[in-house]
Structure 1
Amino acid sequence: MSELPVRPAATLILMREGEGAPQMLMVRRTRAMAFAAGAWVWPGGRVDKADELAAAAQAHEDAAFRIAAIRETHEEVGIDLGDDLDQLTPFARWLPNFNVERRFDTLFYLARAPEGAAIAKLQQGEIAEACWTSASAMLERIEAGDATAIFPTKRNLERLAQYASIAEALDDAARYPIAPITPWVEQRGGEDHVVIADDIGYPVTSEPLTSAIRA
């Protein structure tokens, strides 16, 4: 386990209605990135000082995180959500504690995409590609070896794959407290697994250590 400093971060799961299941905007990080290199994630990044200063005038306790999520989405893919922080719904908070070079305390948010929202650009040096996809379609790509994702992303994709609409996703997000999720390692069936609690809304709560990308 790591005692590295924790860096606050925010991620935005931007959603639009699709045929049979909502679609969400996902991005693939470049292989040059120090964290989750080459992996598929949602737009997001560290909360910076400017986010914290801007949050001082906001009512939300997590305003700096919401501001960071909106800012990072604009920087990474060029989609502007404006400054209405109420459009973001807290979904999860992940605080892994494995021995990695960077440790993040990340708040994940859900939001409806603005009407006609389109990928306008990709942030040079950080984002290799972006796409709209359903959660189940991305999970199929990961299973087939066509895409990679770190442990928290896979668990969130599995949770999101349960929803037939954005309304269902928002309703489910409200059912669970936004408490830190810190995976641990334990033996199951004679094999080490990365594990999370089984009562926080996730349909899959463990993965063999040999396949889990834990960054």
Structure 2
Amino acid sequence: MSEAINGQPTETPIRDAACLVVIDTSGSEPTVLMGRRHASQVFLPDKWVFPGGRVEEDDRVLAKRFGGGFMPADLAHEIKPFALAAVRELCEETGLVVGRNAPFLEHGAAWGPFAASGHSPAPESLFPLARAITPPGRVRRYDTWFFVTEAKAVSGKSTLPDGELLDLAWFTFAEAAGLDLPRITKLILDDVVALILNDPEITGLSELLPFYYSAGSAYRRDLISCKVAPPAP
């Protein structure tokens, strides 16, 4: 879908976004945290998704001066705002905090709800998982980085979730696959299942990650590095 400016169609802008896949491996069968989007939402209405949202300018500002670590330690600087956004959005949408038990004093307004929990963000607990760009023709388009972390990385809870996601719950992989998922969410879920089968403790991920995007009439899955600047949308 295109937008019109002065009567002339333009391409839908591609916005930066981040999602965090939280896996609980403490039980007899791994589970994943998911929520359902409101039916009234313009983008992916009534679909089940991982917690996430847009990268804010406050995330970019924080990434430039953030003194904590990332995973991997040499994560490309261009991806760091996405990792921070994933931590912030998880807190906003689920109330779950991935952070250190220390005051978070220097932050922008977007980080207010997170800072109120009494924690500082801990993006070193997140592993880059995949990147995806929404195909052309959609009402919204996003350049999204997906990250994964274990439930044991959750160090606390903040205020109640903001209500953007409904029916937040933990699902086995089989249960999650049976939900009404967007195409990209299903592909990422498949990647997570393969990851857990090979590395149940999520002790280390490959530098090369899947990158999903459209090229003409084809939908591609390439491998890209998370240690160098990612290719432009």
TM-score, with length taken from structure 2: 0.68
Letter in 2 for 1:128: L
Letter in 2 for 1:28: R
Residue 93 in structure 1 maps to residue 124 in structure 2:
no
Write out aligned runs for 1:199-210 (5 A).
none
Which of 159, 162, 177 is the equivalent residue of 2:191? Answer: 159
Write out aligned runs for 1:134-213 (5 A).
134-139=172-177, 141=178, 147-164=179-196, 167-168=199-200, 170=202, 173-174=205-206, 176-177=208-209, 180-183=211-214, 195-197=219-221
**Quick one: distance in 1 between partners of 2:207 and 2:63?**
26
- In structure 2, the CA distance between the partners of 1:4 and 1:66, relative to structure 1 (3 Å rule), is same
The structure with the greater share of residues assigned to strand is 2
How many residue pairs match? The answer is 185
What is the Cα-based RMSD across aligned positions, in Å? 3.0
Q: Which residue does 1:48 correspond to in 2?
A: 56
Structure 2, unpaired ranges of 5+: 3-10, 68-74, 100-120, 224-233
- In structure 2, the CA distance between the partners of 1:36 and 1:166, relative to structure 1 (3 Å rule), is farther
Write out aligned runs for 1:15-164 (5 A).
15-58=23-66, 60=75, 61=77, 62-82=79-99, 83-114=121-152, 121-124=160-163, 126-139=164-177, 141=178, 147-164=179-196
**Quick one: distance in 1 between partners of 2:33 and 2:201?**
15
Q: Secondary structure at the match of 1:156?
A: helix
TM-score, with length taken from structure 1: 0.73
Which has the greater radius of gyration?
2
Q: Does structure 1 conserve the Cα–Cα contact (< 8 Å) formed by 2:196 and 2:202?
A: no
Structure 1, unpaired ranges of 5+: 142-146, 187-193, 201-215
- In structure 2, the CA distance between the partners of 1:46 and 1:164, relative to structure 1 (3 Å rule), is closer
